[in-house]
Structure 1
């Protein structure tokens, strides 16, 4: 017997982790009928968690493509957003931007050391990327990677510090430097999608090339 609550939660997770889907694609991922998937989408839409748009995919009638709304993305946890943003504002106002920069840099350095320790036994680039994805997923970033003919794509489908990053984007630049450091000087890590720029996820290209 189908557990409706499990299907409901899985539908949200799929749209968050894999991005927009057509009705048939979602039904396939959920392993249920299209009518069952339609029921779930209408339920989610009624709660303001998903929205749809018409997209032409070659010949034939346009398809309805479903994706999460802002409210839908908010179903995934942020790390104490109100408190974190308030602390950032207070540090900025009381101690100045330079002090905030030092705190962000120190946090990044702590993360770098912790990642390095956890990745110490992983020697190949792909092993280190795989371990980094596992670490970041444990931290709530819903991370995974894909191998391409030009290197690797490192993908994070959620940002648990999104509100803090909006208040201080140096968290994002420090994060990029941390990735570069723990993956090694033999590669270049480049951000190609950014949640704060309106993308649905953060994506990084990791190329096996020498840094100039």
Structure 2
């Protein structure tokens, strides 16, 4: 019998290899019950690693297809972060730290534009939740908790670029500016940071 961790990893591996599968297709790789597999799929969806879509048929009911999200793909080994860090090191050696800071600032501006383009609400609380969902899809493993009237705590339990941010703390400053810009009608206070050894990056966001 597979434990929960290995079963979930098998689901991710199967979807990585096959790209997209029905529940029947996924079940062909398991000996555990369909109920158990569906439970693992729901958990992986909640974590933002797996997504589903309905496929309509001319006859019969629509069926579901499962596939990996970008965050799901990132659970597999990659050298992208190391490569990014090496490029920044080389850029600093060739052009100086000021050029690296400009590159990081450009990244922040690009992220601001992308997130703003996906937002379509003026409600403060909904905007906090929508931003959290957007960041979760990027692999940040985000949770939001309402802690008061128009007051929220946003927590990132994973940083996909922690290795780069450890070398260039301007990345963290850029994330702070990103949230200050997105919630300009309120106040954004940093509380903790993964790069400092904390278990999550945490902000208090108040209107």
- TM category, shorter: 0.5 to 0.7
Residue 189 of structure 1 is matched in structure 2 by: 188
Give the whole-Å Cα distance in 1 for the aligned partners of 2:115 and 2:161: 18
Structure 1 9/144 Cα, relative in aligned 2: closer, same or farther at 3 Å? farther
| Residue in 2 that maps onto 1:145 | 144
The answer for unaligned runs of 5 or more in structure 1 is: 11-74
CA contact (8 A) 1:88 1:167 kept: no
Query: 1:122 deviation in Å?
Result: 1.3
The TM-score with structure 1 as length reference comes to: 0.61
Helix, strand or coil for the counterpart of 1:189? strand
Q: What is the aligned-residue RMSD (CA, Å)? A: 2.3
SS of corresponding position for 2:160: coil
Deviations 1:32-57 (A, max 9, x none): xxxxxxxxxxxxxxxxxxxxxxxxxx
| Other-structure match for 1:6 | 4
SS at 2:139 equivalent: coil
Provide the TM-score with structure 2 as the length reference.
0.63
- Decide whether aligned partners of structure 1 residues 147 and 102 sit closer, same or farther in structure 2, where only a CA change above 3 A counts: same
Cα–Cα, structure 1 residues 98 and 9, in superposed 2: closer, same or farther, change >3 Å?
A: farther
SS of 2:153 mapped into structure 1: strand
CA deviation vs aligned residue, 1:123-166 (integer Å, no higher than 9, x gap): 11111111111110111101120000261000101000001101
2: CA distance, partners of 1:84 / 1:158: 18
Q: How much does 1:180 deviate?
A: 1.0
- 1:171-212 deviation line (CA, Å, top 9, x unaligned): 11011101111122x21111101101110111101122xxxx
CA distance in structure 1 between the aligned counterparts of 2:140 and 2:7, rounded to whole angstroms: 18
Match of 1:175 in 2: 175
Q: What is the SS of the residue equivalent to 1:178?
A: helix
The question of 1:123 aligning with 2:122 is answered yes
Change (3 A) 1:154 1:109: same
Distance in 2 (CA, whole Å) between partners of 1:116 and 1:158 is: 22
Determine helix, strand or coil for the equivalent of 2:202: strand
Contact 1:176 1:191 in 2 (8 A): yes
**Using the alignment, how far apart are the partners of 2:198 and 2:171 within structure 1?**
17
* 1:90 pairs with 2:78: no
Deviation per CA, 1:44-74, whole angstroms, max 9, x where unpaired?
Answer: xxxxxxxxxxxxxxxxxxxxxxxxxxxxxxx
Residues 105 and 9 of structure 1: is their aligned pair in 2 closer, same or farther, counting only changes over 3 Å? Answer: farther
Partner of 1:71: none
Task: Check if 1:113 corresponds to 2:113.
Answer: yes
